[in-house]
Amino acid sequence: MGVMNNSLPDIGPVRAVDSAIGWGRKSSIWPMTFGIACCAIEMMAVYAATFDLDRFGAGVPRATPRQSDLIIVPGTVNAKMAVRVRRLYDQMAEPRYVIAMGACVCGGGPYVKWGYNTVKGVHKVIPVDIFVPGCPPRPEALMDGILKLREKVSREEVFARRVRTARELDARSI
């Protein structure tokens, strides 16, 4: 389809636009105001002045899932809470990211054997991008998780993927 082929832009400039969008996204990852257990105390310390998550643009906790890009799950997720976590995640708009903070959320932690009520890892309920182990993790560990997430966000393709897909479809139809 020659007409279609000519209308498609070059991939190079599209990638440049994507990297600009990625830079904007990674510099304003707004987390959700959300905490479950003791890891939330450590998370609050990361928001506060000493560690200052706002340096990475992630220090604006949003009061509603509809405005937030990131859900940090800090604390033991039990069967009663898992339903709420899933509902909060479903309310978030794409693109959305999940950080599992703490040993309990990464795989059960101390409740792995005798926790009759504990979900052994929040990845069983929602898809997780970054796992931050620790009981609780040091603030530096959570900041490292945020930095890893920034890398992941900045590498994402927005328009380049569409262009590539269109090109593939184009090639197949020829």
Partner 1 sequence: MDEAALHARLAASGVPGIGALDRSVKDPFVVVEPTSIVPALTWLRDDPACRLEMLHNLTAVERPEAIEVVYHVCSLAHHHALVLKVRCPRPEGGTHETWLPEVPSVAGVHPAANWHEREQWDLLGVRFTGHPDLRRILLPEEWIGHPLRKDYVYPTEHGGIPLELDAVPLYERDPASPPPPSGRVRKAGEPLFQPPAPFSSRPLASGGRTVEPGEAPAGGDGAGAGGGEH
Q: State yes or no: residue 107 binds partner 1 (CB under 8 A).
A: yes
| Closest separation in Å from C-beta 11 to partner 1 | 32
Q: State yes or no: residue 135 binds partner 1 (CB under 8 A).
A: no
Q: State yes or no: residue 124 binds partner 1 (CB under 8 A).
A: yes
Least Cα distance to 62 among 100, 19, 37, 96 occurs for 96
| Closest separation in Å from C-beta 105 to partner 1 | 12
Q: Which is nearer to partner 1, 121 or 136 (CB)?
A: 121
User: Residue 79 and residue 94: Cα distance in Å, rounded?
Assistant: 26
User: Residue 37 and residue 47: Cα distance in Å, rounded?
Assistant: 16
Structure tokens at 39: 């890891």
Query: Binding residue for partner 1 (CB under 8 A) from 51, 59, 62, 108?
Result: 108
User: Residue 129 and residue 147: Cα distance in Å, rounded?
Assistant: 12
- Contact of 40 with 75, CB cutoff 8 Å: yes
Binding to partner 1 (CB under 8 A) within 65-104 occurs at 79-80, 82-83
Which residue is listed with tokens 């257990």? 37
Q: Which is nearer to partner 1, 47 or 97 (CB)?
A: 97
Q: Which is nearer to partner 1, 123 or 167 (CB)?
A: 123
